[in-house]
Structure 1
């Protein structure tokens, strides 16, 4: 590992976080809140820390490897969360640092799991910061760094390590331009959602906070009831944008180029659309007896399906009282997640599609051993190396969730609570079943287990490899 490059880049990340903290501080000042001082103190500490890292490691230039990219990503997300938790502690709105760290990790990883029983007790500045962490973490803070700084030799390594999905494609030849294009699309969609929410009568503050949370597919809102008290129009707007933000951002770029045919030829998008439509149809039929009209049932089903498959975590109903089939479908959507290259969590639709194609190929091969059967995605032959990496990732995915469940089993809580807490946090969904259901939170877990869940959120968001690399002695050795 090139230690100077890693530490120098971490210094830049911390300085950028200091700059980003100015926004919630400005919101606090606008509303005359005392927590502005907490943000100011955190900014000073971040500037000092980031400046020292940059000065001491200013020779951190030159070539870097994919290993350096993975280390930068893993360490950056931990450092970002550690610093981002400080405003909560300094303001005493979340007095416990571990609780604040859990909340911040949940924010940056766009999980939306919370330890807060009364969200409305938070100041406006803190509510904005919670939502803003979703927006920052949704596309990836390191993608933001690539866009701003000139690091051509290591940019693609950072993108590969941070962007979710089986592969990372450049939209344009330069990685920096790819990052910029992604953020332009991301920002434009966020602004568009703000406009639609304003048209529904939502206040500017609430519109911005909920748009930031939706864009990052996180789910931190401003109210204890999440989205349950919003008008049907607002709920439909959130539903549509949750669906959109779980789509591969490459497809939005194709739309801008007028290549709509390529969008609908995309295998992952077609599978994603089919899963959503079938799930909404089945759940609507299942919950009809619980709601007054077909339109109410459709809205509730569509909202919960979009929220769970996009791993956003907003809720409008307590789905734990729905029919067994509805709950099983929602549980399945927790695992599937959104598309690769989106802000959503989960296994990713593309991986699920590839795994099913691999299983079908193996079954065919069993019947006809001599037949050569290739896997195709988007009409093109899938590279065997990619197929192999998907299979390996799936094995690690199952083992990681199992390890998290075993870790939580040492707590005093029942199997259902621990099982769904692990699944929900690792897949960056937020709400689950049991104690961690739509009307519950994670505050009863002791501090150690909150750290386990925080690690699970980071593992899931960064797709395992960067975090595992931290525990490999070979990764820390100088090249």
Structure 2
């Protein structure tokens, strides 16, 4: 009984937070006189507040705790409920052809995937476009993390909630209190969003577009208010600003706290950050060289390659060019980014840089062991010797990741997609990237897919966003045994 109350307390608080966020697109609707969509925001907002008050006022003095099983259940269902809440204004606005389309768009937004079923986004009400981009921002830092930040009553079990939601093989607290940690991370998140919005406004975007693209950038989502994405502006300054903030969003947000607290040694010794920077530099150089003859010079090649490499590596998914028309060598390097992703603790998706760092260090150790059979070799992360069991954790995660990738590829093949489209479509769903290759390239959309495949893709996006285990654990019989 206590768990049931706990569950409804957390979920209704979460719904109230999502409902409160409707105020931003509603303000846009009022500003542009989009009266046809007023109620699709107002009604669910009011209902969510009523539910929140009805459940939480009578139980406000109750203390509660959660075990591990209940924590995973609450986190997974919180994301499902939030996705359904996000679907409401999309579906009832009449802008989508079916519930499956509206649900796909909502889950794609909240999981920061950025794949869309729409072929024409510029004809949407600006408030609906704002909501699409705002879902990235809410899901980027994590809707459960936001709940913990705003509701100190979740201090008991708060770390378990965030641990079940956040990304990467190692999870820890920036500060001693998890609610303080969540507030600091969200404060940094809001600050970066405001800075980018101002920069984009100065660079030529109107305020609404600047805010929407900042939401999509900091959440590493990739929804845009323009059909041609960021490329529609044909502005080098806008592209540079987005590239910088996409890169920053792909960094572990804990490192920004270290900047504020002047812990520069922790930043300079961070193994993942050094690998992340190296990957970005190498990949941009490789794609630039591959595009030199295509664009007729280094300058233009560097402009397009840097934007696209950072966009796909951080799983943002913005586009300034149709990269499936690029030379095969350039496409090869872009394809590799789908297998990497951003840093752990960032808003980016994918396997994460830290896991590849651990794999690389373990390969080095195994090679050294062959040369020195009696040697003792350990993985060093951030200048310290890491836990030995972390290698097994990484291998297990990557195994599950590639199994889900293969199953999702097969689902695409069953739905009559060609193998290349099905495979890259699976990559973009599980990795929360956005555009794929083939029929699902950056100038295409997912609207033509059958509804059953869209529903499976919804599952794959949620599983990828929650680092697989939070979703996959429900399919294990042991989870349901007492």
TM-score, normalised relative to structure 2? 0.95
Residue of structure 2 in register with 1:69 after alignment? 71
Pair 1:430 & 2:431 matched: no
SS at match of 1:166: coil
State the 1:270 CA deviation.
Answer: 0.5
Residue of structure 2 in register with 1:377 after alignment? 381
Pair 1:215 & 2:218 matched: yes
* 1:350-398 deviation digits (Å, cap 9, x = unpaired): 0110011112222322343321111111111110122221111111111
Corresponding residue to 1:458 among 455, 462, 478: 462
Corresponding residue to 1:176 among 167, 175, 179: 179
Contact preservation (8 Å) 1:307, 1:314: yes
Pair 1:416 & 2:420 matched: yes
SS at match of 1:120: coil
State the 1:208 CA deviation.
Answer: 0.3
Contact preservation (8 Å) 2:12, 2:48: no
SS at match of 1:315: coil
Contact preservation (8 Å) 2:294, 2:327: no
Alignment of 1:444-455 (within 5 A): 444-455=448-459
CA distance in 1, matches of 2:458, 2:118: 15
**Which shifted more, 378-387 or 298-307?**
378-387
State the 1:346 CA deviation.
Answer: 0.5
Contact preservation (8 Å) 1:361, 1:373: yes
* 1:163-190 deviation digits (Å, cap 9, x = unpaired): 1111112111000000000011111111
Contact preservation (8 Å) 1:111, 1:219: yes
**Which shifted more, 452-461 or 283-292?**
283-292
State the 1:71 CA deviation.
Answer: 1.3
User: Does the C-alpha gap of structure 1 residues 473 and 19 become closer, same or farther in structure 2, counting only changes over 3 Å?
Assistant: farther
Corresponding residue to 2:146 among 123, 144, 155: 144
Contact preservation (8 Å) 1:46, 1:83: no
RMSD: 1.8
Corresponding residue to 2:165 among 162, 165, 169: 162
Runs of 4+ in 1 over 6 A off after TM superposition: 55-60
Alignment of 1:88-167 (within 5 A): 88-150=90-152, 151-167=154-170
Alignment of 1:333-352 (within 5 A): 333-352=337-356
State the 1:81 CA deviation.
Answer: 0.6
Unpaired runs of at least 5, structure 1: none
Pair 1:297 & 2:297 matched: no
Pair 1:21 & 2:22 matched: yes
Residue of structure 2 in register with 1:11 after alignment? 12
TM-score, normalised relative to structure 1? 0.96
CA distance in 2, matches of 1:311, 1:448: 25
* 1:239-265 deviation digits (Å, cap 9, x = unpaired): 111111100111111111223343122
State the 1:43 CA deviation.
Answer: 1.9
Unpaired runs of at least 5, structure 2: none
**Which shifted more, 104-113 or 287-296?**
287-296
State the 1:450 CA deviation.
Answer: 0.2
Residue of structure 2 in register with 1:354 after alignment? 358
Residue of structure 2 in register with 1:404 after alignment? 408
**Which shifted more, 48-57 or 331-340?**
48-57
User: Does the C-alpha gap of structure 1 residues 60 and 97 become closer, same or farther in structure 2, counting only changes over 3 Å?
Assistant: farther
Alignment of 1:255-266 (within 5 A): 255-266=259-270
SS at match of 1:336: coil
Residue of structure 1 in register with 2:367 after alignment? 363
Alignment of 1:205-284 (within 5 A): 205-230=208-233, 231-284=235-288
Pair 1:190 & 2:193 matched: yes
Contact preservation (8 Å) 1:138, 1:217: yes
State the 1:59 CA deviation.
Answer: 8.8
SS at match of 2:351: coil
CA distance in 2, matches of 1:69, 1:78: 14
**Which shifted more, 341-350 or 196-205?**
196-205
Pair 1:202 & 2:188 matched: no
User: Does the C-alpha gap of structure 1 residues 59 and 451 become closer, same or farther in structure 2, counting only changes over 3 Å?
Assistant: farther
**Which shifted more, 382-391 or 57-66?**
57-66
Residue of structure 1 in register with 2:80 after alignment? 78
CA distance in 1, matches of 2:61, 2:419: 51
CA distance in 2, matches of 1:413, 1:304: 25
Contact preservation (8 Å) 2:117, 2:446: yes
SS at match of 2:155: coil
* 1:102-148 deviation digits (Å, cap 9, x = unpaired): 00000000000000000111101101100100000000011000011
Contact preservation (8 Å) 2:110, 2:135: yes
Contact preservation (8 Å) 1:106, 1:112: yes
CA distance in 2, matches of 1:52, 1:78: 21
